């Protein structure tokens, strides 16, 4: 008798904890779109949300993990019967699913926080310490769960080629610079396919600032040159609200270059 083909092995995790955390934190935020909604009106969004969240959990923990199993159980929250259910019961089950998803994601995020190393941003970098700066800057970029706003007056394709891969799928991404070269425009157009992205230019840009949600960092050199030949720094700014107000005022007056 011919041998039966072996069953495929369950998919192992392939996302680092930081990426899983950022993606699931965004899913928890978008879950607000389901709260207090009628289950029929929310059906399409719920299906999309469930599929994406399920896939993120598989990438983060593995196909046969406990967290994936808990998510599958949350899908069946409420009371079910084979003989059909009333509109009221269907609505109640929907509300219980949303509550179960919320509790699950909060628990998973707490677990991931224990798995992630404490982010220790070096702050100061000697000339030649490009890798240390690269590591810390990727960490900062990954902090964004809602909005990432990068201001750098001398931009190169390195921003997209090296750093942007650490951005979670959910946050909007904005980049403001003083001048845009053709190579930067070309790469930015490719990056814009992710959606939620804009690149603008303004002559009012002089500093290097990274705004990730409600946090702010300033850099001594442009990202393209940082720590290559001269020492530099990355410092978290305590006046994040003031810094954001300054650069939000510049943004609507800046010239649109790429939007996706």
Q: What is the pLDDT of residues 203-254, one digit of tens each?
A: 988 889 999 998 899 988 888 777 788 888 888 888 889 999 999 999 999 9
| Mean per-residue pLDDT of the chain | 88
Residue 189 pLDDT level (bands cut at 50, 70, 90): very high
The whole-model pTM stands at 0.58
pLDDT of residue 158: 87
Residue 5 pLDDT level (bands cut at 50, 70, 90): low
Residue 88 pLDDT level (bands cut at 50, 70, 90): very high
pLDDT of residue 257: 94
| Average pLDDT of span 41-68 | 95
- Between 90 and 130, where is the model more confident? 90
| Average pLDDT of span 4-13 | 79
Domain 124-259, architecture per CATH:
2-Layer Sandwich (3.30)
Cβ pair 226, 133 in contact under 8 A: yes
pLDDT for 109-166, tens place per residue? 989 888 875 555 667 888 888 888 888 888 888 888 889 999 998 888 888 888 887 7
């Amino acid at each position: 008798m011919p041998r039966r083909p072996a069953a495929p092995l369950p998919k192992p995790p392939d996302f680092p904890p930081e990426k899983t955390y950022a993606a699931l934190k965004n899913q928890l935020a978008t879950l607000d779109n389901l709260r207090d909604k009628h289950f029929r009106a929310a059906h399409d969004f719920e299906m999309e949300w469930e599929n994406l969240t399920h896939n993120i959990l598989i990438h983060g923990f593995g196909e046969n993990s406990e967290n994936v199993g808990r998510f599958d159980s949350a899908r069946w929250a409420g009371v079910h019967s084979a003989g059909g259910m009333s509109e009221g019961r269907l609505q109640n089950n929907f509300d219980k699913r949303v509550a179960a998803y919320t509790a699950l994601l909060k628990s998973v995020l707490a677990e991931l926080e224990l798995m992630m190393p404490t982010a220790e941003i070096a702050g100061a970098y000697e000339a030649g310490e490009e890798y240390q700066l690269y590591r810390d800057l990727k960490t900062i970029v990954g902090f964004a769960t809602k909005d990432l706003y990068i201001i750098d007056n001398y931009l190169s394709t390195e921003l997209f080629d090296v750093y942007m891969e650490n951005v979670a799928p959910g946050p909007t991404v904005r980049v403001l610079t003083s001048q845009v070269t053709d190579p930067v425009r070309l790469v930015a157009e490719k990056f814009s396919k992710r959606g939620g992205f804009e690149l603008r230019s303004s002559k009012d840009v002089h500093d290097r600032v990274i705004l990730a949600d409600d946090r702010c960092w300033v850099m001594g050199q442009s990202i393209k040159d940082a720590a290559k030949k001269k020492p530099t720094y990355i410092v978290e700014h305590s006046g994040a609200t003031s810094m954001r107000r300054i650069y939000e005022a510049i943004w609507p007056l800046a010239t649109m270059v790429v939007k996706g």
